[in-house]
Chain A
């Protein structure tokens, strides 16, 4: 097993004729992901690397029975792309696009929740269940099928940590980049619930950063509900308050959302917190 995606996942790429969309559609397909269609209004009937292109999600889902979509369209059009995906019968929407307005995301998450549709992101690198499926932009070669579940608010930092986990011999069941924005779809807790039930996952790594209090809430949740070992890592200890550290969500505001508060909350919940990226793998090993 793994969570959210596996070899049965059928993926549609929204924005497949764009630079990133076409590149990553090809990468995903090469990895073995079942990419069944791409969307680009006005370009229906074409093919990109053997992937049929459709004008609308509705048509593509009808023809291919896809259950997952990945969105590469620019932020200005991403809101519409998400609604289109939601109305087509898709069950999991992975949003790579960065820069979607916050109020749009507030409305979207409400709408999707009512329709019981999962959304990952926005501003996410996507997710991968090594050896089964990749729905995202993560570099496949650093992953190896294994027993660690990983949830992260970041992209390249995740790769750095995964590289150590793989080299340590542990490997990963599923790795999810939940996105660096303030309002996101699936959060740490949503993913942890799935990892707790997943037989393949034996321990979970949480990669957090400054801003908001998701890590604090997660710490509390882990203490009450999670039986598997959990290891944490938080970045932004040196970040000055009031400054947006790249990610829209990574900002210390009104004195809250600091790294030290998050680390304290995680440790208080019995979660070991790494001091540097390489230590995440070491801590995970010591727990198994």
Chain B
């Protein structure tokens, strides 16, 4: 789960990670009022859960309240990568001396937590990692051992600073960021940039925290921060029904049991020259209600011209699945063709049940995909 910069900064302040003084605003008037409180230059930053807002014109420096209001008008309502800006953060302008990067994430290969620090801050860190990986210092830590030792935090800080006064500040920030990461079950915590100002203070100019979806059950306060993006509404609706759904741009709706098989089905549609409309994993059970819910979600996408159902029966009996499917489809008005491939225990009995229905039977994944594609062409 992702949150906004202003929300991440609220969490940072709980962990004593210094951030600039900031006010969240929803209207240009509020932006103007906020600027009056600062009595100096301000930065206005769009709050959207996507990177690259600076390049898109979502971050501006204003020299007076009127200019701030003007920028507020410009940025609020702006579309950044498909997302509408509904809030901006008005922040005191910091006199920046230099910019750095500090981040923590999970590392799959070492099965540990990895710290990354770099003097190349303020820019796209993924780009730095690709082109000049030597500019990023990494430290792997396993929380099983009681966390990050002070010397480790200090040594990381020494990688990007020489002055011990600054190193001490940064080491403290690193320790606090680590605590913030572990205690909240984050999957990414990033300060980019971390800045040194002309007075010798270090602070987090930006903040990004992603959370591990698996751990949200033990962080209800974080779950409350969730903001559902327009393109995620269907995904969340599906999730609440025990389905996993992601919409794409094609015209062949896919309904599959199992995530891996669902991806394989989409890939196969593409391989035979079609375009999958979605990823949809209905999970292991043959519960008719799940099929009805899944079909409703598929059909809510008006681009869908044919549906391909691919079920590998496994332990559940195919005739039960077939009965559930027929029952489910009888309750729905479906006017597009549905191709089904169902295999596993009691496959023949299942096929006999399906023969009586309007469903088009296929004996293999490949045949189902080709049939569905042909039907969209007619």
Contact = CB atoms under 8 A, between A and B. Distances in A.
Contacts of A152: 260
B144 A237 contact: no
Contacts of A157: 258, 260-261, 263-264
Given A101-B212, A107-B142, A156-B314, A277 B264 contact: yes
A224 B256 CA distance: 37
B214 A102 contact: yes
B246 interface: yes
Interface string B284-298: 000000000000000
Given A235-B263, A249-B108, A101 B214 contact: yes
Contacts of A159: 312, 314, 344
A102 B106 contact: yes
Interface in A143-200: 152-160, 163, 180-183
Contacts of B271: 275-276
Nearest to B143: A107
B280 to A, nearest CB: 9
Interface in B313-352: 313-315, 343-345
A197 B15 CA distance: 51
B246 A160 contact: no
B263 to A, nearest CB: 4
Nearest to B235: A243
Interface stretch (B53-61, B90-98, B109-117): B109-117
Given A102-B215, A249-B108, A163 B258 contact: no
Contacts of B257: 156
Nearest to B108: A212
Contacts of A243: 246, 279
Given A100-B214, A159-B312, A245 B279 contact: yes
B213 interface: yes
A42 interface: no
Contacts of B112: 106, 110
B228 to A, nearest CB: 14
Contacts of B187: 102
A276 B314 contact: no
Nearest to A240: B248
Given A102-B212, A106-B112, A245-B259, A278 B143 contact: no
Interface in B106-132: 106, 108-109, 111-113, 126, 129
B354 interface: no
Nearest to A181: B214
A1 interface: no
Contacts of A45: none
A156 B144 CA distance: 34
A115 to B, nearest CB: 12
B244 interface: yes
A79 to B, nearest CB: 11
Output the residue of A107, A159, A183, A250 with the most chain B CB within 10 A: A159
B159 to A, nearest CB: 22
A221 B341 CA distance: 37
Interface residues of B, number: 52
A269 interface: no
A51 B44 CA distance: 66
B217 interface: yes
A248 interface: yes
Contact of A248 (B213, B246, B344, B366): B213
Given A106-B111, A238-B248, A154 B185 contact: no
B270 A238 contact: yes
A23 to B, nearest CB: 8
A137 interface: yes
Given A102-B187, A238-B270, A246 B106 contact: no
Nearest to A27: B315
Contacts of A160: 261, 264, 312, 365
Interface in B145-202: 145, 182, 185, 187
Given A106-B106, A237-B270, A250 B214 contact: no
Contacts of B365: 160, 276-278
Interface in B195-223: 212-215, 217-218
Q: Can you list the 3 inter-chain pairs with the closest CB atoms, starting with the nearest?
A: A154-B260, A246-B259, A156-B258
Interface of B: 106, 108-109, 111-113, 126, 129, 142-145, 182, 185, 187, 212-215, 217-218, 244, 246, 248, 256-264, 266-271, 276, 279, 281, 312-315, 343-345, 364-366
Given A101-B218, A183-B108, A248-B214, 12 more contacts: A75-B214, A75-B217, A101-B215, A102-B106, A110-B112, A110-B144, A139-B315, A180-B259, A238-B276, A245-B246, A246-B244, A250-B263
Interface of A: 27, 75-76, 99-107, 109-111, 137-139, 141-142, 152-160, 163, 180-183, 207, 209-210, 212-214, 217, 235-240, 243-250, 254-255, 259, 275-278
18 contacts: A27-B315, A106-B144, A107-B142, A137-B315, A156-B260, A157-B263, A163-B312, A214-B108, A235-B264, A236-B267, A237-B267, A238-B263, A238-B266, A239-B263, A244-B213, A254-B126, A275-B271, A277-B268
